[in-house]
Chain A
Amino acid sequence: MTSVVSKSGWDRVADVIIYGILALFGLLTLFPVYYVFVVSVTPYSEVLRHGGFVIYPTQVTFEAFKAVFSSHTVPQALKITIQVTLIGTLLNLTVTTLLAYPLSKRFIPGRNVVLLGVVFTMLFSGGLIPLYLVVRGTGLINTIWSLIVPGLVSSFNMLIMKTYFENMPHEIEEAAKVDGCGDVSTLFRIVLPLSTPMLATLGLFYGVGHWNAYFAGIMYLNDKSLYPIQVVLRNMIQTPNVSQELSISNPLLLQTLPPETIKMATVVVAIIPVLIIYPFLQRYFIKGMLIGAIKG
């Protein structure tokens, strides 16, 4: 924060406490991801020997990853997911910004109706069947657009962005208007360059959403070659679910389930990209961006 202040004794104590708490919470949250990784590289028999719980790999093997990638659908599915994530996030951000910016202007007639209409959709929905009919009616079934268009704008993200625009100092826009910028060019030339923290955040939210999505894939796609990675991985580790009155001797339900190590390997495959991308986005939320940009 304010780097100019000299540190008092209390500040030092506060620092120690802050660093301490964060380090502790960091360790606590590092553990699950670390654990998943450890199990994925440990031979299954070793995992069993330790009662299903290994703290560090006693032996290292990449068999589980080989098993995951032996399915020839994985590379294809990765390609689809990357496509959907890139195109989808770009479209999401564009349409969301275009909707959020005018809605941040309190003086626009009809604004409240639109906002209420958006909030309404967060609470009310007609369920899966009518949505499917609309997706089908708009010709998206069995195309990758069915993974993008039905979730084009997240109401939540749009409201976040609107709130952000509302908090932006009005002087900046007014100055732009005085310079002769229209509504549109103010948005693109002045407002958006100052909104990188928000664009990065929402880009991350949308991107992660696309990366993790599987339900739309299962419901809207028939062609397996269009399946995104999460559908493929989920199918790999799905356990059959037992309904209440089923006969228990049904061999379908007793088929061998994939070993824990393969499950964990699929998890590692699925989360590595999202973990890698985050540190690169962090530099967009460094303090002082706003003021720096205005001055520069």
Chain B
Amino acid sequence: MSKAKVKVLFFLFTAIALVLSACSGGNGNQEASPSGAASSAASSAGAPDSVSDSSGKRLALNWFLMAPANAVLPDGETDFITSTIEKKFNVDLNIQYLPGGTDYDNKLNLLIASGDTPDLFITTGTASQKMIMDGITADMTPYVTPEKMPNYFKWVSETELQRYAVENKFERAPVIFPRKVYRSYYIRKDWLDKLGLQMPTNYDGMMDAMRAFTKNDPDGNGKNDTYGFGTVGSGTTISLDFPQWIQNGLIGSFMIKDNQFVDVQTAPEVQQVLQGVKDTIKEGVVDPDWFLMKGNEAVDKAASGKLGIVVGGTKNFAFDSNPTSLQNASKAINPQADWEPFHPFAQTGAWTENLPDTAFLLSRDTAEKDPEKIERIVQILNWIASEEGFLLINYGQEGKHYTRSGSTITVSQANVDALQKDNIEKGNFMGVYQQSFYTGSQEADVLGLTVVDESMTDRDRAIADTIASYKLIPSIGTNVAPPTGFNLADYRKKMREYHVKIVFDEPDASNWPKYRDDLLKNYGGQQMIDTYTEQIKAAGVIK
């Protein structure tokens, strides 16, 4: 009787022992060749060498890309971007992708730590600095040149590239990033009309509209349940959406003012900003939930008809042609709803110009062992930045997803439907390339192309024109890195704590100079500002 049980036990032991020993067997093999996975993939896939190509032997490339949350790369021909690249450049692309964020950073770090650094990868600013300082990345001097990547240099200038370097190491380059800024205030035009108000054009007009929206029952439901303005504070600090920032001359998060670098959130003028925000909140025209709201909660609240003014950041934020726009969400509840863009500071400076944010980097290991791979990647990146690559990645296949005559690209409703079927329903694989190589922007004019989107209404086009007319002030011109040993996290935490203390718990903003002093002296703020200033000086933006 007990024998049977012993047998069972032995079986279990052997099974477990097998699992474990099989594991440690694999160990030895992989230790021997760090790029074992890659090379075996290459040999198995490279066997049927049927595709004729001029650019030498077929290469297996490992890429690590940033993807929209819902994206999945399908296999085979369905993903026409990957298959085009593979055919055209005689490569096998092994693409890993995740949505940007902590998981992305973690996984990339794990790959690097285990010696599996991808040949090409994409990271945000802070992470790329760490990787360059730690010697993970390859020198781009021989590769990212106007000769080798002429198309890329249509999008990014050599000056920008130089300024983007970390401690004079040219080891990262910005992926193509949007030049246009679509940040704008949106206001309920139908409420303005109902209350007999004009579209505000300045700060006072905006405040008047906010007051009227709060007190004069713009939705006519007889209840005092609307607010002039809403935004998200994410539980951290005073949102930059509050118009009091620009009202006091503080635009964006970093700016240059009178040839001086300004860290907007710790500037002396923050006293007036905080006082203004305090007063506005006291008037009751701001949705009291703003401070703890996150993500798209303010936009949802605006859609539900509770808010009169919100900030939108994307081009199609209130388009008729965007089914998930604020306009359409609001109309589902109130068919009269009409969101129109405006900006009280449209003439003087609505925001700063964009700086590059996401970088592409090349593996140093690959550059040393297999420079051919890097050469091939550079060719591919150049193609991605070309007209052909731009159109395929952003608009799909000609004839199917758009039509072309000369330099005009026309997208009809039928094209949009076809793209929905061929891309969105197939895992939004185009999104992986759009986000990783174009930062989600589609600025065809850079290539001299005009895009006519037939699904756009006249109202949509008017919105786009209005926003395009806003004045932008120059950016600080270069990416800045905090001094080594400086504790940015603790600094910003303390700063936020002081901001909200003044706004919510103190009678007025008169303590700001004292708090600011504490931040600059005891939390290293002055050191940060000095370092940033030096870096901007070194880039030649200020004297």
On chain B, the residues within 8 Å of A251 by CB distance are 178, 182, 313-314, 439-441
Interface string of A215-243 (1 = CB under 8 A from B): 00011001010000000000111111111
Report whether A132 and B26 are in contact in the complex, using a CB–CB cutoff of 8 Å: no
Question: Closest Cβ of chain A: how far from B420's Cβ, in Å?
Answer: 12
On chain B, the residues within 8 Å of A250 by CB distance are 357, 439
Question: In the bound complex, what is the Cα–Cα distance between A81 and B19 (angstroms)?
Answer: 20
Given A48-B300, A129-B113, A139-B23: A243 in contact with B124 (beta carbons within 8 A): yes
Contact of B69 among A49, A188, A224, A237 (CB under 8 A): A237
On chain A, the residues within 8 Å of B178 by CB distance are 251
Taking CB atoms and an 8 Å cut-off, the chain A residues in 252-286 that contact chain B are 252, 254-260
Interface string of B391-433 (1 = CB under 8 A from A): 0000000000000000000000000000000000101000000
Taking CB atoms and an 8 Å cut-off, the chain A residues in 56-74 that contact chain B are 70-73
Contact of A73 among B72, B297, B435 (CB under 8 A): B72
- Asked if A6 is at the interface of the complex by the 8 Å CB criterion, the answer is no
- Asked if A21 is at the interface of the complex by the 8 Å CB criterion, the answer is no
Report whether B114 and A252 are in contact in the complex, using a CB–CB cutoff of 8 Å: no
Report whether A128 and B110 are in contact in the complex, using a CB–CB cutoff of 8 Å: yes
Taking CB atoms and an 8 Å cut-off, the chain B residues in 260-314 that contact chain A are 295-297, 300-301, 303-306, 313-314
Given A137-B27, A139-B22, A140-B23: A255 in contact with B113 (beta carbons within 8 A): no
On chain B, the residues within 8 Å of A95 by CB distance are 16
- Asked if B447 is at the interface of the complex by the 8 Å CB criterion, the answer is no
Report whether B300 and A252 are in contact in the complex, using a CB–CB cutoff of 8 Å: no
On chain A, the residues within 8 Å of B19 by CB distance are 145, 149
Report whether A137 and B253 are in contact in the complex, using a CB–CB cutoff of 8 Å: no
On chain A, the residues within 8 Å of B462 by CB distance are none
On chain B, the residues within 8 Å of A252 by CB distance are 66, 100, 358, 435, 439-440
Binds A, one of B3-11, B47-55, B340-348: B3-11
Q: Chain A: which residue is nearest B112 at the CB level? A: A129
Report whether B351 and A185 are in contact in the complex, using a CB–CB cutoff of 8 Å: no
Contact of A48 among B100, B106, B303 (CB under 8 A): B303
- Asked if B469 is at the interface of the complex by the 8 Å CB criterion, the answer is no
Question: Closest Cβ of chain A: how far from B174's Cβ, in Å?
Answer: 12
Report whether A246 and B124 are in contact in the complex, using a CB–CB cutoff of 8 Å: yes
Taking CB atoms and an 8 Å cut-off, the chain A residues in 157-191 that contact chain B are 180-182, 184-185, 188-189
Sampled A-B contacts (30; CB under 8 Å)? A73-B427, A137-B31, A138-B20, A138-B24, A139-B22, A139-B25, A139-B26, A218-B107, A219-B103, A219-B107, A224-B73, A238-B69, A238-B99, A241-B101, A242-B234, A243-B124, A244-B488, A245-B126, A245-B253, A247-B252, A249-B313, A251-B314, A251-B440, A252-B66, A252-B435, A252-B439, A254-B314, A255-B440, A256-B324, A257-B296
Q: Which 6 A-B pairs have the closest CB atoms?
A: A139-B26, A138-B23, A185-B2, A45-B332, A254-B313, A48-B304
Given contacts A52-B301, A244-B488, A257-B296, 6 further A-B contacts (CB under 8 A): A49-B305, A132-B114, A133-B114, A137-B27, A138-B24, A235-B99
